[in-house]
Structure 1
Amino acid sequence: MDKIVLKNMAFYGYHGNLESEKSQGQRFFVDVEIKTDLTKPGQTDVLEDSINYVEVYDMVASIMTGESCNLLEHVGALIADSLYQHFQGIIGLSVAVRKPSVPIAGVLDYVEVVTTRGQI
């Protein structure tokens, strides 16, 4: 199946369970993978026959830079559900939200939450 993928989108947001995360904010990274049939836009070369990835980016940016959420699980669900409801032709999608600056007393690159909808 065909896919549209937006990788490693970077945003500054105020998501987290700690008050310091909500007041100071931090960087987040998001990947979106949309499973869809790209046969028609591949033949017609018309944007309206596809899923506009600029609109996908804008929807993700609005959520990531918008209202503060406590959990990455909630952020991922907001993105996944918004995209799934807004765009026709999505067979399935996956949203990965990464948080590199986590309040964990240990060494790690990031924490990532992956949310899926439909058939992946």
Structure 2
Amino acid sequence: MGLIKLKNIRTFSFHGCLEEEGKIGSDYSVELRAKADFLKAAATDDLAMAVDYVHLHKIVVEEMDIRSKLLEHVCQRILNRVLHEIPVIVHVTVAVSKINPPIGGDVELVTVEMEEFRA
């Protein structure tokens, strides 16, 4: 079993419950960790046998471009797509962080992290 990590995928997105958040947007950071069997990729040196991190990045960016009120909703969409589109992945964890959230205090970021296992 192997683990692939994409750290600090940065996006400018429009998530949030406040109407203003949908208009002005905010900076986000996404972390993604996926577990899969890497033995065939390691043995063959063939991208077709590997977990393509370009594909993972594309999923994250596309889902971050779809406005949601809740970070939980964004996380779940990313989890669903990863497991649906990349069958070799057996476990995936996603953390979506809103940088400088509008909560009336000095908070660097707020993060929602979720995980899914292939059934």
User: Under TM normalisation by the shorter chain, which class is it?
Assistant: over 0.9
Distance in 2, Cα, partners of 1:98 & 1:55 = 21
Q: For 1:59-91, what per-residue CA distance to the aligned partner results, in whole angstroms no more than 9, with x for missing partners?
A: 1111112x2100000000000111111101111
Q: For 1:81-117, what per-residue CA distance to the aligned partner results, in whole angstroms no more than 9, with x for missing partners?
A: 1111110111101000000121212222210000100
* Aligned-partner SS, 1:11: strand
Distance in 1, Cα, partners of 2:112 & 2:62 = 19
Q: TM-score, normalised by structure 2?
A: 0.95
Please show how residues 27-66 of structure 1 align to structure 2 within 5 Å. 27-65=27-65
Q: For 1:16-52, what per-residue CA distance to the aligned partner results, in whole angstroms no more than 9, with x for missing partners?
A: 1001100001111101000111111011000000111
Distance in 1, Cα, partners of 2:73 & 2:110 = 14
Task: Indicate if the aligned counterparts of 2:29 and 2:98 stay in contact, CA closer than 8 A.
Answer: yes
Determine the structure 1 residue equivalent to 2:79. 80
| 1:106 maps onto 2:118 in alignment | no
Q: State percent identity of aligned pairs.
A: 32
- Structure 2, unaligned stretches of length 5 or more? none
* Aligned-partner SS, 2:69: coil
The one-letter code of the counterpart of 1:13 is S
- Structure 1, unaligned stretches of length 5 or more? none
Distance in 2, Cα, partners of 1:86 & 1:115 = 18
Where do 4+ consecutive residues of structure 1 move more than 3 Å? none
Count of residues in Structure 1 that have an aligned counterpart in Structure 2: 118
Task: Indicate if the aligned counterparts of 2:100 and 2:107 stay in contact, CA closer than 8 A.
Answer: no
Distance in 1, Cα, partners of 2:34 & 2:41 = 15
The one-letter code of the counterpart of 2:24 is Q
Distance in 2, Cα, partners of 1:103 & 1:97 = 16
* Aligned-partner SS, 1:15: coil
